[in-house]
Amino acid sequence: MDHASRPGADGEFEARNAVVTGAASGIGRATAQELHDRGANLLALDIDPAVVNQGPDDRWTGELCDVTDVDQVEACMASFAGSHGPLDLLVSNAGAFTAGSTIDKLDLETWERGLRINLTSHFIVLRSFLAHANADPPASIVVVGSRNVAAPGPGAAAYSVPKAGLVQMVRVAALELGARHIRINVVHPDAVFDTAIWTPEVLERSAARYGLSVEEYKKQNVLGESVRLWDVTNAICLLLGAAFARTTGAQVPVDGGHMRVI
């Protein structure tokens, strides 16, 4: 899609201060770039050092940050707010798919790591962001969940359970933040196949497990369409912006109509 024809390409986020976690690659990287392209000043956080030098100009600040570390998160938020002003937009995206194992074989370390990365880190980020959030205009927040919340699979408890907890945290936050007119919503992407983790080899192995071709595997939904980065970043930007100014506490699937979700 031509950038000029994209929703929000008219500069809706001009001079707004945005924070994106997990911004070195995948959904986080694409969302940070989209918000920057739409005029925002960006604080891009990641544990990957590549995030530091990814910015195209001085509206992009990349910081090495472990979002499970309270001190690191608070230092990054405070520094950015100190130099740019109150924070307007948050995309809490950082997470990881922890190693698969059935519950009877799941070790405590993996379970707790999944909780810390995929749930507690979002609490840390949200709390720190709110300490610097803009009141006029009020801030807006999107949290990246997962299709696994509505349609979990076996062997993924250390990922699916914290992602489900994340939704409950957002629902509570929506109730609490309404008086401040701060909106918070969730997007639930399915697998996004134009990201680096989906190499041809990974796709072939995954498709083979279901007896499908790669193209059939990528389009296992009622629309028969694979989910792309643009589909997810566009949904995130729309939820952050004026198009959903009267929406909070919502869960928006970006999955092509996954059969088990519907």
* Catalytic positions: 159
Q: Are 20 and 44 in contact (CB under 8 A)?
A: yes
Strand boundaries in 82-146, DSSP class E = 89-92, 140-144
Alpha-carbon gap, residue 244 to 222, rounded angstroms: 25
Tokens of residue 126, six digits? 């949200």
Distance of CA 160 to the CA centre of its chain: 15
At 185 the three-state DSSP class reads: strand
Count the neighbouring beta carbons within 10 Å of the beta carbon of residue 5.
7
CA angle at 116 for the pair 115 and 121, rounded to the nearest 5°: 120
At 104 the three-state DSSP class reads: helix
Count the neighbouring beta carbons within 10 Å of the beta carbon of residue 11.
12
Greatest Cα pair distance in the chain: 54
